[in-house]
Amino acid sequence: MSHDALNTPDLTLRQKLWHIHWLFVLLLCAAAGIGFAMLYSAANGNMEPWASRQFTRFCVGLVVMVSIALIDIRIWMRYAYVFYAVTLALLVIVEVAGTVGMGAQRWLNLGYFNLQPSELMKIALVLALARYFHGGSIEDVGRPTYLLTPLLMIGIPAILVLRQPDLGTTLLLVMASGAIFFTAGVRMWKFALVTVGAVIAAPIAWQFLREYQKQRVLTFLNPENDPLGSGYHIIQSKIALGSGGLFGKGFMQGTQGHLRFLPEMQTDFIFTMLAEEFGMIGGVGLLGLYGLILIYGFAMSLRCRNQFGRLVGAGITTTFFLYVFINIAMVMGLIPVVGVPLPLISYGGTAMMTLMIGFGLLLSVWVHRDVMIGRRGGDEV
């Protein structure tokens, strides 16, 4: 039988705190600690202006993360569409009255801080898609018409974010959504069909890219064409990566970074600075730490007994993976520069808070992993 999930919590507050995956939290703290050290180095041995602020943001994020983890997962399911609708409305407001910075219109000025709704959409879209697919059977997922609504849920915010313009966030939205489609049971031939369609549409899409976006692609193909202009970032990044060697030059001893040849070393190119100072060993060590976070993230998702939790966990963990993959591939010259930060390492407030909210949802999935949710959101016993 079923009863109101929200009025009959399965665990007490103390039990929920005990069920939080504290080893996972410790891994996040270890990654953030590396970030504080690299930001300290980027400022030539000073906590200001980056490391101290990043530390404060992470501490606030930890409180937010644990608080979210303690909230019943059925509440997140109940209000998933509301969260999506509000975030979509914020994206529309950005389009009309957003704050322009660095050539992009991505922020809303709220007085005390600037809000970037596209970051919130990474979480809102995961929740909304998970809510939608939770209510469907495997037969529903097999019907092409059933996929039209979630495709529209992805397409509208993706177009709005692309217009800001923010290609990196658009890619994250689309690819993380693809992971939810896959986890929900969408057949591979449909992914192949979409891939073929994207390849065919690429020449048409090229005409709609901004000039700087086209330049990034051309620079990716041949950065030496403009070594002092558009190709400067990636060339200096490769020099720093190579100069670190096996063991690196030592903490705060990187020449490319500290002599200011390496651009944006506190944000997009912070992995390059780490590799220069700690070498290939340091880079591989960080990747190993990220690997553990990903393994635990997917394991927590798969252990969940309800479909909504599994889909939320898969979406959040995939988003984290995409942050890591795109940033590191970008600084190594394997893909064009798209401005995606390295999670828990790069300096940035909105990206940090988005990650911590996402990890809070992932921990909520773990804490409430044995909760059975009916197709309409209620308990099943």
- Domain presence at residue 111: no
| Nearest alpha carbon to residue 270 among 5, 70, 26, 43 | 43
Confidence of residue 25 (pLDDT cuts 50, 70, 90): very high
* Most confidently predicted of 45-54, 203-212, 256-265, 331-340: 45-54
Contact 126, 316 (CB under 8 A): yes
Contact 120, 82 (CB under 8 A): no
Query: Does residue 7 surpass a pLDDT of 70?
Result: no
Contact 310, 302 (CB under 8 A): yes
- What's the mean per-residue pLDDT of the chain? 86
Report how far residue 312's alpha carbon sits from residue 128's, in angstroms, rounded to the nearest whole number. 9
Report how far residue 154's alpha carbon sits from residue 148's, in angstroms, rounded to the nearest whole number. 10
- Domain presence at residue 98: no
For the segment 234-263, the average pLDDT, to the nearest whole number, is: 85
Handedness of CA 206, 212, 218, 220 (dihedral sign): negative
Q: Residue 55, exposed/middle/buried by CB under 10 A (0-12, 13-18, 19+)?
A: middle
Contact 176, 318 (CB under 8 A): yes
Q: Which conformational region is residue 44 in: left (phi greater than 0), alpha (psi within -120 to 50 degrees), or beta? A: left
Structural domain containing residue 15:
5-78+189-367
> Position 347: which residue type?
Y
Confidence of residue 224 (pLDDT cuts 50, 70, 90): low
- Domain presence at residue 125: no
Element housing 301 (H / E): helix 270-303
pLDDT: is 5 or 209 the higher one?
A: 209
Contact 310, 324 (CB under 8 A): no
Q: How is residue 370 annotated by DSSP? A: T
> Position 100: which residue type?
V
Share of the chain above pLDDT 90, in %: 55
Confidence of residue 31 (pLDDT cuts 50, 70, 90): very high
Handedness of CA 145, 147, 152, 153 (dihedral sign): positive
pLDDT: is 338 or 42 the higher one?
A: 42
Query: Does residue 284 surpass a pLDDT of 80?
Result: yes
* pTM recorded for the entire structure: 0.89
pLDDT tens figures, 264-278: 788 889 999 999 999
End-to-end CA distance of the chain: 6
What was the pLDDT predicted at 1? 36
For the segment 114-137, the average pLDDT, to the nearest whole number, is: 91
pLDDT: is 142 or 25 the higher one?
A: 25
101 forms bridges with which residues in the sheet?
104
- Domain presence at residue 199: yes
Question: Between the CA of residue 371 and those of 8, 206, 378, what are the distances in Å?
Answer: 11, 47, 10
Report how far residue 191's alpha carbon sits from residue 291's, in angstroms, rounded to the nearest whole number. 26
- Domain presence at residue 335: yes
- Domain presence at residue 70: yes
Tokens for 170, please give them. Answer: 């658009």
Tokens for 195, please give them. Answer: 């891939």
What was the pLDDT predicted at 276? 93
For the segment 32-36, the average pLDDT, to the nearest whole number, is: 96
Report how far residue 188's alpha carbon sits from residue 156's, in angstroms, rounded to the nearest whole number. 24
What was the pLDDT predicted at 373? 80
pLDDT tens figures, 119-129: 999 999 999 99
Beta-carbon-side half-sphere exposure of residue 127 (alpha carbons within 13 Å)? 28
- Domain presence at residue 87: no
What was the pLDDT predicted at 334? 86
Confidence of residue 102 (pLDDT cuts 50, 70, 90): low
Domains: count for the chain: 1
pLDDT: is 58 or 110 the higher one?
A: 58
Q: What angle do CA 365, 57, 37 make, to 5 degrees?
A: 105
pLDDT: is 219 or 241 the higher one?
A: 241
Report how far residue 88's alpha carbon sits from residue 83's, in angstroms, rounded to the nearest whole number. 9
93 forms bridges with which residues in the sheet?
none
- Domain presence at residue 143: no
pLDDT: is 230 or 172 the higher one?
A: 172
What was the pLDDT predicted at 221? 67
